[in-house]
Each structure stands twice: as structure tokens, then as C-alpha cells.
Amino acid sequence: MVDPDGESVTNKVNNLMMEAQKAWRTGVSTTLSGLLGEGHGTVRFSGDEIRRILRNASDLPMVLRLLRDHQGTQLEVLSDLAAVDWLDRRENRFEVVYSLLSLALSTRVRVVVSVAESVSERPSVTEIHPSAGWYEREAYDLYGLVFQGHSDLRRLLTDYGFVGHPMRKDFPLTGFHEVRYDEAEGRVVIEPVETAQDFREYYVESKPARS
């Protein structure tokens, strides 16, 4: 279908949607900078999403509450929470990524917080987004990140007797314990991992041995 100007209706609609999206991104970026100020972090664009990089994790509850309640953002849904382990960092080794969704505006924003391993720097956001409850438990279980103020911070995916946090990059590939069925005792037992030989480590720089 072609309009009188010779441009297809589909292309015109797509162009209008792209212009609206661009205007929204510019508006949200301006709103965030105006509400929070540059001292609280930086705004970056990634595809159709906006990334807000926070410098202080203590600002997180205020930022999420503003994004949820402000008319210009309406980011009322926390669709996901994920952790990232940057093992080579000396400070603020972990990042916590909060994926927010606005159903009214059909847009997404990701808020990224760099955090250390100390408990006091990671506030829970369950009072702002109740869906964060299970996400924070998952991050605690897999990465060992403790969220201050969480009412029920327990392991979620691993067993209660599990040692360590398996998604950390310094977690050994063999783990610390193994589970097997003992026919003599007639039950499942948990024992320290035993290997027939020393565990070998391979690196990208390693060269194959010559015959």
C-alpha cells in the first residue's frame, strides 16, 4: 500500500515509530539527568535500551523509585535482575543489573550498579519491586551477594548444604563436594570431591605437546 507521496505506509509507520523512540530516549535521558544529576552516574544508550550506570549503590532505591513513579518514565516492572562477576577488578568486582520495563511506554531501561563484596553496599529493592525477592535470592545463591534488608535471603537453586557460589569465576570447576548413592548405607551421601589425578588447568596460551 502506497500513500499519495509515493512512500509505503509501512515505511512511514516505521519511521514515525523510530522518531518517537528517539524522542523518548532523549526525554528519559534528560529526565534522569535532571532528577538525579550527573553526580549519581552516567546515561548510555545500547540499542533500544538505556543504561544508567550508578556510581553509588546506596542511590539505587531512590533511582528505582523515581523511575517507577515519574510520569516521564513509568518504569513500573522489574523484569529481571542479574549479577556479573568481573574477577580482574580490584574494586567493585561485581555488577548488579536491574532490567526495568514500562508497559505504558513500551520501553526498557537497565540500571547497572558496581558493588564490592561488603554487605552494606547492596540494599534490597523488594519494597519498591516485590518481584526482586526471588531475583535477589538467586544472586545470593549463585554469586554470594548479600542484599541488606531482604526478609528471606536463602539459597534458591542449590541445596542448603552446598558450599560456595557456583557462578563466581573463582569457583573450582570440580566443586567442593559430590553427591552419590551409597548402597551399603542405603542413602544419598555428600562427600568431598576426589579425583583420580590432579586437576589440570588449560590456558589459551598453552601449546600442544610435541610428539
Q: Is 99 within 8 Å of 110 (Cβ atoms)?
A: yes
Any residues with CB less than 8 A from the CB of 197 and at least 6 apart, and which?
Answer: none
194 closest CA partner among 174, 211, 169, 168: 174
Render each residue's pLDDT in the chain as its tens digit; 211 residues. 545 555 576 777 777 666 766 666 666 666 666 666 655 566 666 655 667 677 778 888 988 998 899 887 888 999 999 999 998 888 888 999 999 998 988 788 888 888 887 655 689 999 999 999 999 999 999 999 999 999 999 999 988 778 889 999 888 877 788 888 989 989 988 888 777 666 555 555 555 554 4
Buried b (16+ CB within 10 A) or exposed e, 192-205: eeeeeeeeeeeeee
How far is 61 from 126, CA to CA, in rounded Å? 10
Task: Give me the pLDDT at residue 63, please.
Answer: 85
Ordered structural domains, the chain, with CATH = 9-156 (3.30.460.80)
pLDDT tens digits for range 128-175: 999 999 999 999 999 999 999 999 999 999 887 788 899 998 888 777
State whether residue 19 is helix, strand or coil. Answer: helix
Distance of alpha carbon 36 from alpha carbon 40, whole angstroms: 6
